[in-house]
Amino acid sequence: MSEEIKKIATRESYGNALAMYGEEYPNLVVLDADLANATKTNVFQKKFPDRHIDCGIAEADMTGIAAGLATCGKIPFISSFAMFAAGRNFEVVRNSIGYPHLNVKIGATHAGITVGEDGASHQALEDIALMRTIPGMTVVCPSDDIETKAAVKAALELDGPFYMRTSRAASPVFNDKPDYKFELGKGITLKDGKDITIIATGVEVSYAMEAAKMLLNDGVDARVINIHTIKPIDEDIIVKAAKETKKIFTVEEAFVTGGLGSAVTEVVAEKNPAEVHRLGMQDVFGESGSWSALLEKYELDAKGIYNQIKKLL
Amino acid sequence: MDKKELLKTAVKVRKGIVTAVHGAKAGHPGGSLSAADIFTYLYFEEMNVDPKNPKDPDRDRFVLSKGHTAPGLYSALANRGFFPVEDLPTLRHLGSYLQGHPDMKHIPGVDMSSGSLGQGLSAACGMALAGKLDKKNYRVYCLCGDGEIQEGQIWEAAMFAGARKLDNLCVIVDNNNLQIDGPVSEVCNPYPIDKKFEAFNFHVINVADGNDMDQLKSAFEEAKTVKDKPVCIVAKTLKGKGVSFMENQVGWHGKAPNDEEYATAMSDLEKLEAAL
């Protein structure tokens, strides 16, 4: 990626998208748990102060309040760090939102290892795993600014619970193409390739693209697929990759157990057995450090992905 | 509805509870019976609800935060005409819409799914907040257990309700003094309940006998006059009220009567009805 490419953290895009759609969706309300400045919902708050509710440091209560608001026709977005929105909140989300299938959107920011300096206590690596076990829950992890805004719009249009994980790390904007189309449950082939397939989600997608370029220099033609919707997952695009390329590599900045790696492996194992390698956080907690240093250490930046794949080829 | 009719209805609601739990061969009669008069007062006197239009956006809402006492709610709803009373014995049966805990997706008149303790009050706050945002006049009622308030989320919600001055919210604590492991004061003492809610900026109304219709009426009427504060009615009740062998017995928190016990329970309730 060249340096001129615009970079924006998907959490910023999330806050901007809420403000952008506030007019069009008068029932949209945004709830925070004392993190409006960090989750970037303060942009919405400034524009629509009456429709922004700060619940204080009480994520479980915020979640239940959103459930109650949804029963009365509101479209609540609850915002917090993924650690609290999905982790601390799991059972409230399951029972007060998932079980009654209420129209609540969970805007989980600061997901994954790229939380950075705050360290392991705040790095939610298990949120994808937790959220995708809830029946009827849509799980989305957008890769850049354009995709985050499209995902927010899709969430507003969908009647049902929706979990969206965004990141603190600045992501290059690469989906600003005229033919870009966001469709829930549909993966996007960013680069075709015949040798192997790299399936990535969220901030890892741009690194996967870079790694594919490095692999091509070595004569390895890698297909790159962006899976923005982890649930319901695009089975067709995965099965096709399993049939047409020799190996599949999944990449995420989350636990591979239960995360994208598991989701892809489940499809491959059941529909078209093939070799899958899951790159991501293995069975360890994260640690403090800048997000870029952490991605380097855990081999989840472009070079790290390239190195890991080279070893496994 | 006059007092005599309310009292008769409360007996019907109790019969429905015992019949449902007997039919289910499981469930929670004790806390359903302690709150039977509260359910009756709410659904037959207090709340603006219409069995023919259970999703009316302007209706009053009820959240059973102590969701395990679903038999009490179901019996009140059935007797009020939301679904047939004859369906009550299908409670907890495979294929029945009467799930073990309130299920808003399948049971007419249920405004919120509940059962995991501590969560209902937050949802009730959300409903009350929606009413404020939309400038609607409906009221929201939420029944909590005195054991249930040991859950921390209750106090998150109480803090929110007080801070937001949700005067369209009325919380009722069914203070029957017993939870599964014993008296609430011995398990993990929640007293003083009234002072706790006062400290969270609620207007608190203590009801000395929450199984007495006159006292309930006076409390709910006072609640409606309160401005700028949510209300908490702390109603002292008798667990298992109306069924002789269940009264104040912790063992009847979550146990179904066998056929013989069912006959005794129904006979107790017949006698109550005859005395009215």
- Tell me the per-residue pLDDT of A187-243, one tens digit each, with 9 for 90 and over: 999 999 999 999 999 999 999 999 999 999 999 999 999 999 999 999 999 999 999
The minimum CA-CA distance between A3 and chain B, rounded to whole Å, is 46
Residue type, A221: D
For residue A289, name the pLDDT band (cuts at 50, 70, 90). Answer: very high
The minimum CA-CA distance between A45 and chain B, rounded to whole Å, is 15
What percent of chain A is modeled with pLDDT above 70?
99
Inter-chain contacts counted by CB atoms under 8 A, chains A and B:
106
Q: What ipTM was predicted for this assembly?
A: 0.96
Alpha-carbon distance A272 to A15, whole Å?
A: 40
When CB atoms are compared, the residue of A56, A68, A101 closest to B127 is A68
Contacts of B119 in chain A (CB under 8 A): 60, 64, 92, 95-96
Q: Which residue of B has its CA nearest to A56?
A: B160
pLDDT in tens, B98-152: 999 999 999 999 999 999 999 999 999 999 999 999 999 999 999 999 999 999 9
Contacts of A56 in chain B (CB under 8 A): 156, 159-160, 163
CATH assignment at residue B69:
3.40.50.970
Is the Cβ pair B160, A56 closer than 8 Å? yes
Is the Cβ pair A69, B121 closer than 8 Å? no
Q: Which residue of A has its CA nearest to B105?
A: A100
When CB atoms are compared, the residue of A53, A70, A92 closest to B119 is A92
Alpha-carbon distance B226 to B203, whole Å?
A: 7
Alpha-carbon distance A111 to A172, whole Å?
A: 17
Please check whether residue A228 touches B, CB under 8 A.
no
Please check whether residue A71 touches B, CB under 8 A.
yes
Is the Cβ pair B113, A95 closer than 8 Å? yes
Q: Is the pTM of this model over 0.80?
A: yes
pLDDT in tens, A1-57: 445 789 999 999 999 999 999 999 999 999 999 999 988 999 999 999 999 999 999
Enclosing domain of residue B52: 3-275
pLDDT in tens, B43-95: 999 999 999 999 999 999 999 999 999 999 999 999 999 999 999 999 999 99
Helix (H) or strand (E) holding B178: strand B178-179
- Number of independent structural domains in chain B: 1
- Per-residue pLDDT, A1: 45
- Work out the average pLDDT over A245-262: 98
Q: Which residue of A has its CA nearest to B63?
A: A68
- Per-residue pLDDT, A3: 54
pLDDT in tens, B225-251: 999 999 999 999 999 999 999 999 999
Structural domains in chain A, sorted by start: 7-172 (3.40.50.970), 188-312 (3.40.50.920)
Contacts of B166 in chain A (CB under 8 A): none
- Per-residue pLDDT, B72: 98
Question: Which one of B60, B99, B101, B125 makes the best mutation probe of the A interface by having the most chain A beta carbons within 10 Å?
Answer: B125
Is the Cβ pair B116, A95 closer than 8 Å? yes
Contacts of A91 in chain B (CB under 8 A): 116
- Per-residue pLDDT, A5: 81
Please check whether residue A69 touches B, CB under 8 A.
yes
Q: Which residue of B has its CA nearest to A101?
A: B105
The minimum CA-CA distance between A102 and chain B, rounded to whole Å, is 10
CB-based contacts of A293, cutoff 8 Å, min separation 6:
none
Please check whether residue A88 touches B, CB under 8 A.
no
Is the Cβ pair B112, A100 closer than 8 Å? yes
Known catalytic residues of A?
A: 59
- Per-residue pLDDT, A30: 98
Residue B262 pLDDT > 80, yes or no?
A: yes
pLDDT in tens, B207-223: 999 999 999 999 999 99
